């Protein structure tokens, strides 16, 4: 017997469950998630049922233990897959959080015609959906934009005009993976190897919330997933697979990481986004654990950003004061080595938001608009989109 498990030798594997609460063991090295060392944890507690009985002493009677409470925190870097448009390593977590993923699985070439800065023509638009976040691969002038409308088999409309103007005829749109809300979010099993020696098996996990944090100038953004589950068990076991993240993309350093509010590019320092699901548990006295499953009953998306206050207009205040609906879109990337072209893109698009607070703030003595916002649905399944290219 040896004591002293090394935290840095731990690893985490995630699988989608076929049946909620039926533990699924790791299927291969590709199920491993590259997590941040600080903050990764799973906790297991039991509700304490006090027995306030009268005896001949004031000492407490032995309590009973009730429902199990399983929760965890999975901190990750906000980054794309190493292959353009493929789902990121955290795919299963994003699907548990939001419920759905769609992909453009091959590059799309536009028509040989004249486009505009917001409309690109395609004879076949079947690969696209409203809300998709796409990379327009104009040579030496790459730009990323969300799709706000589609004219079937005619054109796509971009929510934000291209800064470089109309793209060339037969411009290519890259492959992409986009996550969006749907009610059928899968449950997960997690296998956590503590120090590579002790195996934690957690089942029935749902991703109840995620926070995009540390999105600030010249930093690396993170996404922290908060999960809750049904059961947790520990056994002595070593990993069957060795994680290999060598082909994964690096997380972008947040330079040229621009954000647009209602189509207007902002100069800002910090941004944050919170996606929260309300979870209801189906309790049953006939169940061994007291819980048989869980469901999401509400989705809430909110965030903040601190653009510098303009000295010649109050458009942001007017939007707040008039209760206007505004859109928020942003992305970050890694340079590719070719001027004006880039790769490993992470992005977000919130088509419908309300500014809920707008106090003044300051950044090292410079006045800012400290915007808080909340996103909401339009036609449905369109509150938030997360894109990886």
| DSSP line for 337-380 | SSTT-EEEEEEEEEEEEEEEE--EEEETTEEEE-EEEEE--SSS
Q: Which residue has the tokens 């840095």?
A: 8
Domain end residue (candidates: 174, 195, 210) = 174
Structural domain span for residue 344: 7-47+64-101+180-388
Query: Is residue 161 domain-shared with residue 204, that is, in the same domain?
Result: no
pLDDT tens for the 389 residues of the chain, in order: 678 889 999 999 999 999 999 999 999 999 999 999 999 999 999 999 899 888 888 888 899 998 999 999 999 999 999 999 999 999 999 999 999 999 999 999 999 999 999 999 999 999 999 999 999 999 999 999 999 999 999 999 999 999 999 999 999 999 999 999 999 999 999 999 999 999 999 999 999 999 999 999 999 999 999 999 999 999 999 999 999 999 999 999 999 999 999 999 999 999 999 999 999 999 999 988 888 899 999 999 999 999 999 999 999 999 999 999 999 999 999 999 999 999 999 999 999 999 999 999 999 999 999 999 999 999 999 999 999 99
In a domain, 58, yes or no: no
Classified as helix, coil or strand, 22 is coil
Of 306, 274, 279, the closest CA to residue 295 belongs to: 279
In a domain, 110, yes or no: yes
Classified as helix, coil or strand, 91 is helix
Burial class from Cβ neighbours inside 10 Å (0-12, 13-18, 19+) for residue 55 reads: exposed
Query: Is residue 133 domain-shared with residue 242, that is, in the same domain?
Result: no
Query: Is residue 216 domain-shared with residue 364, that is, in the same domain?
Result: yes
HSE-up of 265 (CA within 13 Å, CB side)? Answer: 9
Please check whether residue 340 is in contact with residue 318, taking contact to mean a CB–CB distance below 8 angstroms.
no
Two structure tokens written together for 235: 């056994």
Distance between CA 163 and CA 173 in Å, rounded? 16
In a domain, 377, yes or no: yes
Query: Is residue 219 domain-shared with residue 266, that is, in the same domain?
Result: yes
Q: Specify the length of the chain in residues.
A: 389
Q: Which residue has the tokens 């934690």?
A: 200
Its pTM stands at 0.95
Query: Is residue 156 domain-shared with residue 206, that is, in the same domain?
Result: no
Please check whether residue 28 is in contact with residue 240, taking contact to mean a CB–CB distance below 8 angstroms.
no
- Confidence (pLDDT) at 1: 64
Contacts of 234 (CB under 8 A, 6+ apart): 198, 199, 200, 201
| Average pLDDT along the chain | 96
Distance between CA 348 and CA 331 in Å, rounded? 6
Of 326, 306, 328, 380, the closest CA to residue 99 belongs to: 380
| Sign of the alpha-carbon torsion through 253, 331, 216, 220 | negative
Q: Write out the DSSP string of 15-33.
A: EE-SSTT------SGGGB-
Of 286, 360, 358, the closest CA to residue 316 belongs to: 358
In a domain, 150, yes or no: yes
Please check whether residue 14 is in contact with residue 193, taking contact to mean a CB–CB distance below 8 angstroms.
no
Domain end residue (candidates: 174, 191, 207) = 174
Radius of gyration of the chain (CA): 24
Query: Is residue 118 domain-shared with residue 249, that is, in the same domain?
Result: no
Q: Write out the DSSP string of 82-119.
A: SSTTPPPTTHHHHHHHHEEEEEE-S-EEPPSS---SSE
Q: Write out the DSSP string of 141-188.
A: --EEEEEEEEETTTEEEESS--TT-SPPTT-EE--EEEEEE-S-PPPE
In a domain, 57, yes or no: no
Query: Is residue 132 domain-shared with residue 13, that is, in the same domain?
Result: no
């Amino acid at each position: 017997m040896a004591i002293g498990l090394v935290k840095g030798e731990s690893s985490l594997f995630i699988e989608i469950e076929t049946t909620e609460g039926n533990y699924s063991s790791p299927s291969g090295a590709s199920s491993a998630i590259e997590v941040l060392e600080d903050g990764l944890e799973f906790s297991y507690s039991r509700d304490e049922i006090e027995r306030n009985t009268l005896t001949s002493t004031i000492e407490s009677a032995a309590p009973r233990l009730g429902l199990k409470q399983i929760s965890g925190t999975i901190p990750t870097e906000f980054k794309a897959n190493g292959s353009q448009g493929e789902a990121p390593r955290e795919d299963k977590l994003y699907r548990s959080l939001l419920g759905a993923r769609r992909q453009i699985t091959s590059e799309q070439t536009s028509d040989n015609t004249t486009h505009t800065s917001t409309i690109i023509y395609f004879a076949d638009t079947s690969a696209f959906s409203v809300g998709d976040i796409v990379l327009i691969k104009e040579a030496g002038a790459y730009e990323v934009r969300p799709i706000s409308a589609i004219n079937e088999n005619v054109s796509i409309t971009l929510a934000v005009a291209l800064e470089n103007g109309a793209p060339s005829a037969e411009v290519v749109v890259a492959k992409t993976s986009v996550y969006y809300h749907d009610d059928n979010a899968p449950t997960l099993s997690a296998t956590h190897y503590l120090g590579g020696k002790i195996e934690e098996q957690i089942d029935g996990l749902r991703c109840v919330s995620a926070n995009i944090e540390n999105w600030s100038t010249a930093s690396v953004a993170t996404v922290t997933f908060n999960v809750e589950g049904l059961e947790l068990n520990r056994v002595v076991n070593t990993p069957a697979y060795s994680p290999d993240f060598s082909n994964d993309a690096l997380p972008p350093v947040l330079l040229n990481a621009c954000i647009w509010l209602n189509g207007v590019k902002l100069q800002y320092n910090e941004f944050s986004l919170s996606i929260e699901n309300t979870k209801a548990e189906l309790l049953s006295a006939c169940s061994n654990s007291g819980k048989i499953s869980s469901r999401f009953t509400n989705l809430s998306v909110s965030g903040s950003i601190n653009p510098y206050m303009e000295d010649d207009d109050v458009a942001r205040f007017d939007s707040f004061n008039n209760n206007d609906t505004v859109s928020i879109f942003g992305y970050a990337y890694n340079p590719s080595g070719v001027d004006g072209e880039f790769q490993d893109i992470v992005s977000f698009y919130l088509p419908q938001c309300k500014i809920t607070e707008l106090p003044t703030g300051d950044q090292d003595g410079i006045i800012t608009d400290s915007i808080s916002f909340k996103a909401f649905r339009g036609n449905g399944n369109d509150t938030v989109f997360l894109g990886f290219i």
